[in-house]
A and B are shown apart, each in its own frame.
Chain A
Amino acid sequence: MKIRVGHLYPDYLNIYADRGNIAVLAQRAAARGHELDVRAIGRGSEVPAGIDLFYVGGGQDREQALIAPDLAAKAEPLREAAEADAAFLAVCGGYQLLGRFYRDLDGDELPGVGLLPLHTVAGDRRMIGDVLLDCEWAGETLAGFENHAGRTVLDAGAEPLGRVVDGFGNDGNSGFEGCRYRKVYGTYLHGPLLPRNPWFADRVLSDALAHAGASPELEPLEDALERDAHRVSAERARTRGGRY
């Protein structure tokens, strides 16, 4: 089955090794006989119909400010896709911009897509370090690295991606990280996220397959390196995550 991936602004939002996440999805799809068809969606271009998985990465402040108005202008087709259960994976800056707005230290706001029930306000100290999340909804953990000045506040009743075991998370004190809505996943975790969290890569692939009308079942892979990388990353979070 061909899985159609729309990679939003790959030239601008690529600071935290986002292409690593794409490479993982492509290889894990190929190992199960599926094919990833990745197309870039840039400034000024239309959101193509029939995308099974949208990917939005992280950028530096300057790059995010350059693309935010364009992304907000694409809000309607993106929201429609989300309601039709297309999968989304949004990391760091991309995660913030799927919310309603991002307000910087001067009080200026970047518009968001409004797809996720949250908003983000810049703080003065960056929250940097290794993170471990407990994702009870999946019975799994996620290990990654966070580096963000933004404090993300979820709306009442919104589902986080996970509970922070070690690290800062969305805002450093809620005890939660990321957000999950239908098949939309937003998170600050990079590292990149997917190589050392293969269960999550497969979850995103399954969702995309389901949207494409195929069976979401994926046979397990060996993942010995992946498990080891997860173990080391989780250990780092335990010993040095969540500290200024």
Chain B
Amino acid sequence: MSLASLAYVREAPEPEEAPPILSSGALAWARANLFSSIGSSFVTIGCVALIAYLLPQLAAWATTRAIWSASDGAVCRQHQDGACWAFVITKWDYLRFGSYPAAERWRVNVAEAIGAALIIWLLWINAPRRVWAAFLFFVVYPILALILLRGSSWFGLPIVDTQLWGGIFVSLLTAVVGIVFSLPLGVLLALGRRSPLPAIRLASVLFIEFVRGVPFITILFMANNLLPLFVPETWTPDRLLRPLAGIVIFSAAYMAEEVRGGLQSLGRGQYEAAMALGLSYARMTALVVLPQALSLVIPGIVNNFIGLFMDTTLISVVGATDFLEAMNNAIKDPIWAGPTIMVTGYVFAGIFYFVFCFGMARYSAHIERVLAKGRK
């Protein structure tokens, strides 16, 4: 039989049929993830109803019904169904700098810009010469910032008393001081806790467990009430220095535990190899152990920093004016005071902290993934 006599010959494969509509694409996804069972379907409908009910109201509250410009609180007190952003806009300078003299505020901006640049350099994993960044941030920057912010007659910068410092600037300052001083202290404590020398180990353990066992507020109270008693009468530590000392002590203990985790995850072989090369303890720690351990715990340190930043809100208990306290003060201003202003103020503060902390948390998760890739 010849080929031509056949009635039908398949010369090419049939085009593929589209998959059943319910097994791929958006519908299939919805079926698997939203309507997989009767209960799941009810939950989905409930959630959608909730979003449909709440989201437009929230959006209208924050945008169309909100008051964007006003000279005092009268308009906001009349329109109670919208946010009063005019309040935040008017009070912005106070929320930002506290009572720092207006003519000198550029100094705060400069100090913050330098700090931000150094932090980006430090946190950018592939940046060149990160050791320099660390040196600049942990050694040079604190001195520079102190001169800029406090003022110094040598450089012709008028002294600004710390009682005038406040707002976002103090929140950032507290967090940065906390990390700059507590990280080195935490590294020392972590090394001390793993030291073979019993007295050093005991001292480290006692310090760490004591600080972690009590609330931050009691450390702040201690720094505020006991520090002036423990130093000679003539010293009288600055009112802002006391909570800063408290936050360094508190944060160092938590940093130490974080760093200890990194030290523990290092293989024994690293220590043994360093010793076989004849390195002393100091060189082994500085050249072999810490570079590996610290880069392992970057995510943990960043998470700790987030906690530290949220904890800075507590320093107002000893009279410092951080951002939240500045917001509290602004809310109480009789020209503005009103229920909408209070809600607007707290919502704005919430957004500020959320954006800051959530951004850091995303960064920390990203680093964790990068590190995990390297170790697989």
Partners in one complex: no
